[in-house]
Amino acid sequence: MVAIAAQFTAEAYPQVHRNPAFKVPGPEDVKYFRSFLDADEVLEAPQGDDEALVSFNQDWMNKYRGQSNLVLLPKSTEKVSKIMKYCNEQKLAVVPQGGNTDLVGASVPVFDEIILSLKQMNKIRDFDPVSGAFKCDAGVVMKDAHQFLRDNDHIFPLDLPSRNACQVGGVVSTNAGGLNLLRYGSLHGNVLGLEVVLPNGEIISNIDALRKDNTGYDLKQLFIGAEGTIGVITGVSILAAAKPKAFNNVFIGLESFDVVQTLFVKAKKELSEILSAFEFMDRGSIKCTIEYLKDMPFLLKNQHNFYVLIETSGSNQAHDSEKLTTFIQNALDEKLISEAKVSDNIDEYNTIWTWRKSVPPACNSYGGMYKYDMSLKLKDLYSVSEAVTKRLDAAGLIGDAPKPIVASVGYGHVGDGNIHLNIAVREFTKEIEGLLEPFVYEYIQSKKGSISAEHGVGFHKHGHLHYCRSEIEIRFMKEIKKHYDPNFILNPYKYV
């Protein structure tokens, strides 16, 4: 991978100005924090050293880069509370940060905001195997939550390609969707309770909530997907499902997006309760991934216009295999699909998933990428990718070096009407950006879609909400922000 050192966000976007109401963090602030934090809970950049805190300042796509000199990594909710109380009183701006795998610049500072990392709050708190309620600190890495629950015959109701780095609190803060939303539903349904530190340091918690609680407004919901703009999530209680005994998947090659849709309706009908993922990738996505996974033989004999990954999970291997192989055989017989590779064992199952999960890093491996995440009616879903590719190609920007764009590809979660558009680039240029925006947003608006299906708003889509939200909705959002965070210190320059 060719690493691009991102330009400072403040320089790349000179129209964004630091809010002069915020205090510049100084030695007296660090001194105060050190008065109750351990040595390993405070990280300071040596003066003049831009690189020391780069992993906290720069985002995963190498697109945004803040200039914070101070990272706090508290190990308890009480410490988070003390930090926030002080920052609120002193008007110090704060960016909460989980695994920093965010894709819209939400988890890194823009200027000199203090970075509040949750990574040292990483304890699993409790698990009830009868109800399935799983409680943990916000900073537990998703793969560890998965491992713990698997060891206890359960499953974390969400999975993401970034599972090795992303954290449970960050996932909830950004209302991540992921690979199994089709089966287990959204976090708004699965999160049982949250523990949140408010901007003024108060702790509001219903983390001990039971499966059902209908006593008043469901306050926790506002924090799900709020991207740390109205509170810092420090603890999460979530409903884990019983671990399926049988997992099966299949990788399919087919020739048009119309067939992808037909196949999806057929799968909903015939696989129904065992259908747990229905993902699609276009030709370009897999072409990049073949280059990226160079030593790994491709799954199918031929390349195709579209690929679909279907996963089933259930309680009876024989029943599930029968349902899936019947489904695939019928689709082959009906000539709906061209080729299919059904997994025969756990290794093959994992290998099939590797091809889907490697699409984002593959696209990012040429230097960086522009990334859009949209939801649309299924009939319109792929059209946005075609329109964008056509536009970039007409400008002569796609091709071998020195052209800046390697490929413009589309893939995503058919089951959720969610497409990811990745423009894999050798460099970020204003020309590409000018061709992409506002074109992409206006296209989505014209089709009544959403400009962010699951990645959120962050810095990237700040100020773009009007493409899919009404004036009154935006006004209510701004009022919520003001009500919870009257000094606007939490995650500024982003979101509403």
Within 339-398, the residues that bind a second copy by CB under 8 A are 375-379
CB of 485 to a second copy, least distance (A): 12
Nearest to 462 by CA among 479, 474, 448: 474
CB of 19 to a second copy, least distance (A): 20
Q: Which of 50, 89, 126, 273 binds a second copy (CB under 8 A)?
A: 273
265 binds a second copy (CB under 8 A): yes
Pairing of strands 405-413, 275-282: antiparallel
Element (H, E) at 419: strand 418-425
The answer to whether the CB of 166 falls within 8 A of the CB of 141 is: yes
284-323 binders of a second copy (CB under 8 A): 313-316, 319, 322-323
Distance CA 323, CA 311 (A): 12
Distance CA 120, CA 169 (A): 12
- Of the pair 26, 129, the CB lying nearest a second copy is at 129
Torsion of CA 432, 434, 437, 438, to 10 degrees: -160
420-459 binders of a second copy (CB under 8 A): 448-457
Distance CA 494, CA 459 (A): 5
Helix (H, G, I), strand (E, B) or coil at 254: strand
The answer to whether the CB of 82 falls within 8 A of the CB of 36 is: yes
- Of the pair 75, 455, the CB lying nearest a second copy is at 455
CB of 312 to a second copy, least distance (A): 9
Distance CA 328, CA 401 (A): 41
Tokens 């003066």 appear where?
47
Q: Return the number of other C-beta atoms located less than 10 Å from residue 203's C-beta.
A: 17
486 binds a second copy (CB under 8 A): no
Nearest to 471 by CA among 446, 447, 496: 496
Q: Which of 164, 442, 474, 486 binds a second copy (CB under 8 A)?
A: 474
170 binds a second copy (CB under 8 A): no
CB of 421 to a second copy, least distance (A): 15
237 binds a second copy (CB under 8 A): no
416 binds a second copy (CB under 8 A): yes
- Kindly give, in sequence order, each residue whose CB lies less than 8 Å from that of residue 78, ignoring residues fewer than 6 positions away: none
410 binds a second copy (CB under 8 A): no
Q: Which of 271, 331, 425, 440 binds a second copy (CB under 8 A)?
A: 271
- Of the pair 56, 441, the CB lying nearest a second copy is at 441
224 binds a second copy (CB under 8 A): yes
- Of the pair 218, 431, the CB lying nearest a second copy is at 218
124-153 binders of a second copy (CB under 8 A): 128-132, 153
Question: How far is residue 392 CA from its own chain's centroid?
Answer: 25
- Of the pair 55, 315, the CB lying nearest a second copy is at 315
CB of 491 to a second copy, least distance (A): 13
Say how many residues touch a second copy, by CB under 8 A.
Answer: 91
